[in-house]
Structure 1
Amino acid sequence: MKTQANQLPQLLKKGLSPVYLISGDEPLLVQECCDHVRKAAREAGFEDRVTFHADQQLDWNRVGEELGALSLFAEKRRIEIHLPTGKLGDGRPVLERVLENPPEDIILLLISARLDAAETRRKWYKELQGKGVHVPVWPIDADKFPGWLQQRARNHGLSLTRGALDILAERLEGNLLAASQELDRLALLGSSTTIDEETVEQAVQDSSRFNGFELVTELLAGRATHARKIIGVLQQEGENPLGLLTVLSRDLNLTMELNIATAKRENTSGFLKKRGVFQPQRAKAVEQAAKRLNRRQLMAALELCSATDRAAKGFDSLSPWHYLQDMITLLARPA
């Protein structure tokens, strides 16, 4: 069967299925769904966990042996298989055999990128639909993101004022993981349950010396020296580049749209307001980038974003920071 992410906790209370598939490209929501399954499984006595990652080195025969092995001392197990590409490949026959007659002492958790239509037509997926639960996780639409933020804040016992919500929504749109972390930090401030615009600004000032938002601003402005300094600090501090990459690709796409709009003599201020860009600093950075960079540069920058994303997810021999250094050189170059 298929169910929505917000319905999963209630479904788990009714009993466990032998297999769960959590799929999607929104890491935070995928992780939270997996945590719901793990918690319910532990409470039902499935304490032991075995994890596999379906990369090119995975031996699916080992997975089949683990799924077919009898538990020692009648211990129940959770077996998790991560599918970063959303495809089973050589693992399809293994899963098909297991799903025909799922073992009673195992909860199988498949954690996958978004499935394409071809994969959902395969035998293993049809077997899973009959024996288990599929939770497809979808990104939060831009128009629903402020509501998601406000609800998330309420879960922390916080209330966001209109101004605070506007700032957070603008800075964090499309990056739920960063949004969750930002609300965690605001909750730790503990001075008030009402978070206003001033509190948000102060929290940003109190955060690490450099952050992904500042790097994006410097990249759009073409300030190469300062951007390289920020990248060095973020890399040393172990920052996950995927967070800032979401913000950068969003603003590069916005810059390209503005570039086209201004060529048609569309009013810049009106264009940015229609796109929900109200923060002066971000509006200025995007406006200046649209004037300074041409379409070819912006297309090349978006291609570098894709390369950085692949590297950050382990599908490239080069570091994601290597590609971000190339990004600095590209965006600092005059059109």
Structure 2
Amino acid sequence: MKIQANQLEQQLEKGLSPVYLVSGDEALLVQESCDRIRKAARNAGYQDRLTFHADPQFDWNRVGEEFSALSLFAEKRRIEIHLPSGKLGDGRAVIEHFLQDPPEDIILILISARLDAAETKRKWYKALQQTGTHLPLWPIDADKFPGWLQQRARQQGISLTRGALNLLAERLEGNLLAASQELDRLALFAGDSTVDEASIEAAVQDSSRFNGFELISETLAGRATHARKIAGALQQEGENPLGFLTVLTRDLNLALELRIATARQSGGENASGFLKKRGVFQPQRARAIEQAARRLSRAQLNSAFELCSAADRAAKGFDSLPPWHHIQDLITLLAQPDRRISDTP
């Protein structure tokens, strides 16, 4: 069964599905939807949690063993599997077997990037549609972003003037993670006062720290010196890099898709039209992705995905090295000149 975001709460109140697939490239929406499912599962007695990160080197036999072993225990458990590429790959047989007869003591949550059309035609996805719930999450349209921002501010008890709302919407350019962080900061800065344009300017001046979205722009542009400075500052401040990595991986995927599309079509596809079809409407972000697609080879982009995955695993405690070590390697990689490695699709 496929549901919309506004149907999730009602669906959870009716009862839990044995498996949930939450997919999309908007990290904030994915995270918050998963949190709602986790809360409902905990309330239903699924207290234990086991998390897997299915990168290209992942051994899916580990998941199959957990599915088989759990019947020996009395505890109800949530098993979460992150799919950064949006594909099951070698895990299809394991998930298909699970979906044939899901154990009552397991809630399975698949957390995925946006699924492509080919993946939705596979046997595992069709089985999930019959047995579980798929929640696809889409970016907020540019014309709806101010309304989303206003509603979010009200939920946090923040009163924005129209001028403040317009200023925030212009600066945030539809970036939901940045919007959430900015509203959190404004809630602390403004207290019970109404937030106007002057308040926003004062809050910006009061905060001298860098942010992850500036790091994304500098990394995509290959400006290694400035990117390393930002990364170092964020590391010293104890910033969690997971949000940054999710957004960077999304934009690197778009850069790779754009590079492949332009290589396959005679005369090349219009980059602006290509990106708008994929929900990229902000000129600054579109320009950064287009420049990365032109500047970076497919080999560089594929290596970048591996480093993003390594940093993501490290941030979640699955690596002895800190995540910022891999991020510094990523900055170096994306700053290297294109050595014209073959881009044959």
1:66 aligns with 2:50: no
Q: 1:208: how far off?
A: 3.4
Query: Contact 1:228 / 1:328 at 8 angstroms: preserved in 2?
Result: no
SS at match of 2:187: helix
Q: Give the CA RMSD over aligned residues.
A: 3.9
Q: 1:312: how far off?
A: 6.2
Q: 1:304 to 1:147 in 2, by over 3 A?
A: farther
Equivalent residues in 2 for 1:1-335, closer than 5 Å: 1-211=1-211, 229-230=229-230, 232-237=232-237, 239=239, 240=241, 241-242=244-245, 299-300=294-295, 310=305, 313-314=308-309, 319-321=326-328, 324=331
Q: 1:178 to 1:243 in 2, by over 3 A?
A: farther
- Measured in 2, the distance between the counterparts of 1:196 and 1:47 equals 44
- Measured in 2, the distance between the counterparts of 1:26 and 1:151 equals 18
Q: 1:183 to 1:305 in 2, by over 3 A?
A: farther
Q: 1:143 to 1:122 in 2, by over 3 A?
A: same
Q: 1:91 to 1:305 in 2, by over 3 A?
A: closer
Q: 1:210 to 1:21 in 2, by over 3 A?
A: closer
Q: 1:243 to 1:145 in 2, by over 3 A?
A: farther
Q: 1:276 to 1:72 in 2, by over 3 A?
A: closer
- Measured in 2, the distance between the counterparts of 1:85 and 1:172 equals 26
Give the alignment's TM-score, normalised by structure 2.
0.70
Query: Contact 1:46 / 1:107 at 8 angstroms: preserved in 2?
Result: yes
Q: 1:67: how far off?
A: 1.1
Q: 1:296: how far off?
A: 7.8
Give the alignment's TM-score, normalised by structure 1.
0.72
Q: 1:301: how far off?
A: 7.8
- Measured in 2, the distance between the counterparts of 1:304 and 1:186 equals 41
Q: 1:109: how far off?
A: 0.4
Query: Contact 1:308 / 1:321 at 8 angstroms: preserved in 2?
Result: no
Q: 1:197 to 1:137 in 2, by over 3 A?
A: same
SS at match of 1:80: strand
- Measured in 1, the distance between the counterparts of 2:299 and 2:168 equals 26
Larger Rg over CA atoms? 1
Q: 1:120: how far off?
A: 0.6
Letter aligned with residue 314 of structure 1: S
Query: Contact 1:24 / 1:115 at 8 angstroms: preserved in 2?
Result: yes
1:251-310 deviation per Cα after TM superposition (whole angstroms, max 9, x unaligned): xxxxxxxxxxxxxxxxxxxxxxxx999xxxx9xxx9xxx9xxxx9899428999967973
Letter aligned with residue 300 of structure 1: R
- Measured in 1, the distance between the counterparts of 2:178 and 2:96 equals 37
